[in-house]
A and B are shown apart, each in its own frame.
Chain A
Amino acid sequence: MIPYTTEARTDTGVSNVTLGFWLFIASEVMLFGALFSSYALLRVSAPDWPAGGDMLVTALGVTNTALLMALTAVAWRAGRTRPASARWLLVIASAVALLFLLTLGLEYSGQWRSGHVPATSTFFAMYYTLTGIHALHVLGGIIANLWVIAATTSVDDALTSARLRVMSHYWMFVALVWIVMFVGLYLS
């Protein structure tokens, strides 16, 4: 009933789903932009700031970076595969995303045991807040993945393909944000 949901409109060159998705990403950029700016402002105005490597477990950060790279590759593949076979790729992607959350949980519990809670210092406050909001995006991605998988039988293939493509871009964005966080928190 609504035209141009999945097919591109000739004068704008995009479909509704594509345009809506990129507008969503624009607002997400503003959200993370504000968070990163806050981080930068608090960090430069602090008299001393710990090195991320001394406070955080870099090995776990590297593991998570690798997991998100793999996840992006799988999701990218799923965005360019026929809906029937793409479903399994999304299942794998969701499993990798779950592993990412488990690794982060592992690091959280380790920090918590050594008494590093958000109230400890602005460094840990930033660490928990930034990674926490990012983790919520990973969780949201898993739910969206499952929703796309569940809906493959009830909507036509064109819509599923559009959704798969959106998910592949979404995971890429999530990985990109993580890389900025990884560099900002663990490596500097």
Chain B
Amino acid sequence: MRIFSSDHKVVGLQYGVTSLAFLLLGFLLILLVRWQIAWPGEMLPEFYNQLGAMHGTIMVFLAVVPLAVGAFGNYFVPILIGAPDMAFPRLNMLSFWLYFVAGLIMLASFFLPGGAASSGWTAYPPLSILATSGQTAWLLGMFVLIVSSLFSSINIIVTILQLRAPGLTMMKLPFFIWSQLVTSFLLLLAFPPLQAAAILQLMDRLAGTSFFLPSGLVVSGKVLEVSGGGSPILWQHLFWFLAHPEVYVLILPAFGIVAEVITASTRRPLWGYRGMVGAALFMGFMSFLVWAHHMFLTGMGPTMSAFFQITTMIISVPSVIILSSLVLSLHGGSIRFTAAAMFGIAFLPMFGLGGLTGLPLGLAASDIPLHDTYYVIGHFHYIVAPGTLFAIFAGIYHWFPQISGRALNERLGRLHFWGSLIAMNVIFMPMFAQGLAGLNRRLYDGGRTYTASAGFEFSYELQAWAAVALGLVQLFFILNLVLTLRRPR
């Protein structure tokens, strides 16, 4: 197999292997964080901040999206629509290698003086502009990654619309294909504003401009000598204009994969296909109109808040339509409880929990006390970890025979499933209680200097052990991959 190949299956596998490696790395970073929170030790706050920022960045941008779109999209979109390859194979290859370079830049940033980016995955100014050079590497990495995502999304959209087999009309496409199509449109249109924002922040850091720096900013007791007149809130608008559609980039392909897995395991067609397609399209459109629900604390005023609260409540409807259709698809089926089916079915209540706990965050009155607490972390991790990641695991178990000609071991697969399900719930469930008590998400000692943390020491320790267990359970998966691939076909 050639390393520089433009074959969509090779590119898909390259995306898959690289992003699984990043998934493991992102997990190991947060394992250190959980350990530090449970038993605060020698770790410097600066290093703790790097771990948090890079965990978020790696998981969202280098692991989950490349897995869901880069790996599953590139590998299965041409196969499921009967196309010979992607529409622009060389562009596809370039997209992977740009992603690879972006990943290398992010990794290399750990070795810079002052370490990697430490201003959170959201890179809010003014903190991010005053941060060490790791932030510059972060911005460059994001820039390259966005170019990669641009090429990939153009490719997927053109492939789906143009290279469908004759007679395969749009309403006959598998729901998986629709989910990839809507996702690609979100990537295409939502990422460029972040690219613009990254350029502006690079200018602030390297050329001394003040796009995001207000006048009269005092740092360490001194007024910062910059021209001023900038707006930190502007960054938040540009960032969330990407990052809210990004949430749907994380979840839509997961819906698509679960739809495939569930229909295969129940041996029944999807319930409510047309409604699901309509919901996915509506969700994609609405995802551009909800971004400021991340910004209720910026003082943007009740009129703006009211608008974004209403759109946020509206966008929960299509998610419910899709989730209900998936649940109803189980009805009357004779389900084979394979590892793939278990991951796929467990996705439904886990994602449901993540979605429901998000509603209080979409309303300003309840979001303001919960903002930046562990409650928020619990909410979106239920969506992405036992949500999207479970869907991705379901997809890997489901399609592995088609990729390699061998099925993964079921017993190891079930151990992987039950272990992950229990460990993830032990990690994320206590976060709701911690957040409701008011514990802030970014405290390197777990907030022990605040009274709100009283009584939570035990849950911190439980979460740390569960994180270790979650890591160990993944060994079943890695072992399964290795053993299966070594077996003759």
Beyond A2-B87, A31-B193, whether A129 also contacts B229 by CB under 8 A is no
Nearest Cβ on chain B to A174's Cβ, whole angstroms? 16
Instruction: State which residues 53-92 of A face B: CB under 8 Å.
Output: none
The answer to whether A41 and B89 have CB atoms under 8 Å apart is no
Q: Is B208 an interface residue, CB under 8 A from the partner?
A: yes
Determine the distance from Cα of A42 to Cα of B65 in the docked complex, in whole angstroms: 32
18 pairs, A vs B, C-beta closer than 8 Å: A1-B84, A12-B162, A19-B157, A19-B162, A23-B154, A27-B153, A27-B154, A33-B193, A34-B241, A38-B197, A38-B211, A42-B231, A118-B209, A119-B207, A121-B227, A122-B228, A125-B207, A129-B211
Determine the distance from Cα of A30 to Cα of B190 in the docked complex, in whole angstroms: 8
Determine the distance from Cα of A86 to Cα of B238 in the docked complex, in whole angstroms: 41
Which residues of A have CB within 8 Å of B161?
12, 19
Q: Is B85 an interface residue, CB under 8 A from the partner?
A: yes
Nearest Cβ on chain B to A172's Cβ, whole angstroms? 19
Nearest neighbor of B169 in chain A, beta-carbon distance: A11
Which residues of B have CB within 8 Å of A41?
231, 234, 237
Q: Is A28 an interface residue, CB under 8 A from the partner?
A: yes
Instruction: State which residues 109-168 of B face A: CB under 8 Å.
Output: 150, 153-155, 157-158, 161-163
Determine the distance from Cα of A48 to Cα of B89 in the docked complex, in whole angstroms: 51
Beyond A38-B238, A42-B234, whether A2 also contacts B199 by CB under 8 A is no
Which residues of B have CB within 8 Å of A46?
229
Determine the distance from Cα of A80 to Cα of B237 in the docked complex, in whole angstroms: 42
Nearest Cβ on chain B to A19's Cβ, whole angstroms? 5
Nearest Cβ on chain B to A187's Cβ, whole angstroms? 22
Which residues of A have CB within 8 Å of B228?
122
The answer to whether A35 and B196 have CB atoms under 8 Å apart is yes
Beyond A20-B154, A23-B188, A31-B193, whether A119 also contacts B200 by CB under 8 A is no
Nearest neighbor of B91 in chain A, beta-carbon distance: A20
Task: Give the B-binding residues of A (Cβ under 8 A).
Answer: 1-5, 9, 11-12, 14-16, 19-20, 23-24, 26-28, 30-35, 38, 41-42, 45-46, 117-122, 125, 128-129, 133
Determine the distance from Cα of A35 to Cα of B226 in the docked complex, in whole angstroms: 21
Majority DSSP secondary structure for residues of B touching A: helix
Q: Which of A1, A20, A117 contacts B88 (CB 8 A)?
A: A20
The answer to whether A38 and B196 have CB atoms under 8 Å apart is yes
Instruction: State which residues 194-209 of B face A: CB under 8 Å.
Output: 195-197, 199-200, 203, 207-209
Determine the distance from Cα of A128 to Cα of B207 in the docked complex, in whole angstroms: 10
With A20-B155, A41-B237, A42-B229 known, 12 other A-B pairs at CB within 8 A are A2-B84, A2-B163, A16-B88, A19-B158, A20-B154, A30-B190, A31-B192, A42-B231, A117-B208, A118-B207, A119-B209, A129-B199
Which residues of A have CB within 8 Å of B211?
38, 42, 122, 125, 129
The answer to whether B192 and A2 have CB atoms under 8 Å apart is no
Beyond A20-B158, A38-B238, whether A118 also contacts B203 by CB under 8 A is yes
Determine the distance from Cα of A139 to Cα of B35 in the docked complex, in whole angstroms: 50
Q: Is B210 an interface residue, CB under 8 A from the partner?
A: yes
Which residues of A have CB within 8 Å of B417?
none
